[in-house]
């Protein structure tokens, strides 16, 4: 088959590679010329896709910015960003722009699938009318479905092939087409009765995580007051073989999904005069966590007889999760900003993030930076770091990830 993928980012590129690896021809479309140039030169910019995995595709993956190149495709999958506006409302501008461009080149018989995370109703209420501006009708002359992306960057135990894929089309025929498409690269395709159910399933998965992370974040604050080690409590609860699922507290939620997606549903709910309290509350608790963590750094310095002002604070890990270099919505950025506002001299070390241009900072070398800092804050626990060495070399360590919980030391403070 010939597959078009619109948006070659963290979601679109692995998907394009999966189809090309399965022997299909892929036209990858992006508005960022640097991505097109890199891919056509055999260079990847997504950590989960090494350059070596592009070479054997034998020209089956071609990148372009020209929408007309989608005309010969059997199916076109849309993977553009769905962020929030500054007032935390869904920003569908990328989706609308891509849909308008697609509508102008849409061909009879094509299948269009939206993979971008969004609120229930987007495929039918927003995408469908734009595509029908082509003069063709959905379910009849072209097919339309929603299928949420479930990728977890950095994860290797589950792949696109082994993660069940949800599909919901605007008609039964649309669903069937979508099922056939994803059967080419996924072992299991789960059929839903409409796109709205598929859209909401994805949001439920992320809201479930957000609410549970908020619960343990709040528990960590209570444990601090109670003088109980929250990590010991969670480790103990996690020994129950049923009825409990482990979530860990941390410095806050980052990435393109968890801090963003729940607000897509909250927005839709408000339109219907419904106020989903769990979602809003979880967002509020999680968004307050970086400020709480900065207070822990200030308290640790204070206990050591130092002020935050002029203190050398070394942030360990600035990406939003371990093992990846993505800094979108990373709580580390808020922590750095707040520490700077308090007058701290902030530096950082991250094996996955060489530069933080918004702070004019570059990753510093260990172990020298550990010895010269007043405090090291473990914000993102990359597996490459030796945390025993961190505790041994830094004068003071504040751990927001619980990776030092086997270590006993006077200079160590944990969330």
Ligand X SMILES: NC(=O)c1ccc[n+]([C@@H]2O[C@H](COP(=O)([O-])OP(=O)(O)OC[C@H]3O[C@@H](n4cnc5c(N)ncnc54)[C@H](O)[C@@H]3O)[C@@H](O)[C@H]2O)c1
Contacting positions for ligand X (CB under 6 A): 6-12, 29-32, 35, 79-82, 94, 97-98, 116-117, 149, 151, 153, 256-257
Q: Tell which residue, 374, 381, 301, 326, has the closest CA to residue 349.
A: 381
Query: Is the distance from CB of 251 to CB of 213 less than 8 angstroms?
Result: no
Residue closer to ligand X, measured from CB, 27 or 377: 27
By beta carbon distance, the residue nearest ligand X is 9
Q: C-alpha angle 197/199/202, rounded to 5°?
A: 105
Smallest distance, ligand X to C-beta of residue 38, A: 11
Smallest distance, ligand X to C-beta of residue 152, A: 7
Smallest distance, ligand X to C-beta of residue 327, A: 12
Identified catalytic residue from 73, 186, 223, 257? 257
Residue closer to ligand X, measured from CB, 262 or 317: 262
Smallest distance, ligand X to C-beta of residue 288, A: 23
Residue closer to ligand X, measured from CB, 94 or 359: 94
Q: Kindly give the pairing relationship between strand 355-356 and strand 361-362.
A: antiparallel
Smallest distance, ligand X to C-beta of residue 137, A: 24
54 vs 268: CA distance, rounded Å: 39
Q: DSSP for 31-87?
A: S-HHHHHHHHTT---STTS-GGGTGGGTT-EEEES-GGGGTT-SEEEE-----B-TT
Query: Is the distance from CB of 117 to CB of 81 less than 8 angstroms?
Result: no
187 vs 150: CA distance, rounded Å: 14
Q: DSSP for 336-389?
A: HHHHHHTT-EEEEE-TT--EEGGGTEEPPPTTHHHHH-SEEEESS--TTS-HHH
Residue closer to ligand X, measured from CB, 80 or 373: 80
Respond yes or no: is residue 174 known to be catalytic. no
> Which residues lie below 8 Å from residue 374, measured CB to CB, with a gap of 6+?
301, 304, 306, 311, 312, 313, 395, 396
Residue closer to ligand X, measured from CB, 98 or 397: 98
204 vs 68: CA distance, rounded Å: 36
Smallest distance, ligand X to C-beta of residue 156, A: 14
> Which residues lie below 8 Å from residue 86, measured CB to CB, with a gap of 6+?
none
Sign of CA dihedral 406, 412, 413, 415: negative
Active-site residues: which are they? 257
């Amino acid at each position: 088959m010939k597959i078009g993928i619109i948006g070659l980012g963290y979601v679109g590129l692995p998907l394009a590679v999966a189809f090309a690896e399965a022997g299909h021809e892929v036209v990858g479309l992006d508005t960022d010329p640097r991505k097109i140039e890199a891919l056509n030169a055999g260079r990847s910019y997504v950590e989960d896709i090494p350059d070596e995995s592009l070479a054997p595709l034998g020209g089956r993956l071609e990148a372009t910015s020209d929408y007309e190149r989608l005309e010969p495709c059997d199916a076109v999958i849309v993977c553009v960003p769905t962020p929030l506006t500054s007032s935390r409302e869904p920003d569908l501008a990328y989706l609308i722009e891509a849909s308008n461009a697609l509508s102008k080149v849409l061909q009879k018989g094509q299948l269009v699938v939206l993979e971008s995370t969004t609120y229930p109703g987007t495929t039918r209420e927003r995408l469908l009318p734009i595509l029908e501006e082509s003069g063709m009708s959905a379910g009849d002359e072209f097919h339309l479905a929603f299928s949420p992306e479930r990728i977890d960057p950095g994860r290797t135990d589950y792949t696109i092939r082994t993660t069940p894929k949800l599909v919901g089309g605007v008609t039964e025929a649309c669903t069937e087409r979508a099922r056939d498409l994803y059967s080419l690269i996924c072992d299991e395709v789960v059929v839903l009765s409409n796109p709205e159910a598929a859209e909401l399933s994805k949001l439920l998965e992320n809201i479930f995580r957000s609410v549970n992370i908020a619960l343990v974040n709040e528990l960590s604050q209570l444990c601090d007051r109670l003088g109980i080690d929250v990590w010991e409590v969670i480790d103990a609860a996690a020994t129950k073989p049923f009825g409990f699922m482990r979530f860990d507290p941390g410095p806050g939620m980052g990435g393109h999904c968890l801090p963003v997606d729940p607000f897509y549903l909250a927005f839709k709910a408000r339109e219907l005069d419904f106020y989903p309290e769990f979602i809003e509350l979880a967002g509020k608790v999680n968004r307050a966590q970086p400020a709480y963590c900065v207070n822990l750094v200030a308290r640790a310095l204070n206990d050591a007889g130092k002020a935050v002002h002029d203190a050398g604070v070394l942030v360990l890990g600035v990406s939003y999760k371990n093992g990846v270099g993505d800094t979108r919505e990373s709580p580390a950025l808020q922590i750095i900003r707040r520490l700077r506002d308090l007058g701290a001299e902030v530096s950082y070390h991250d094996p996955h993030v060489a530069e933080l241009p918004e702070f004019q900072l570059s990753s510093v070398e260990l172990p020298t930076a550990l010895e010269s800092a007043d405090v090291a804050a473990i914000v993102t626990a990359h597996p490459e770091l030796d945390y025993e060495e961190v505790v041994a070399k830094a004068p003071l360590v504040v751990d927001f990830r619980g990776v030092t919980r086997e270590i006993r030391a006077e200079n160590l403070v944990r969330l």
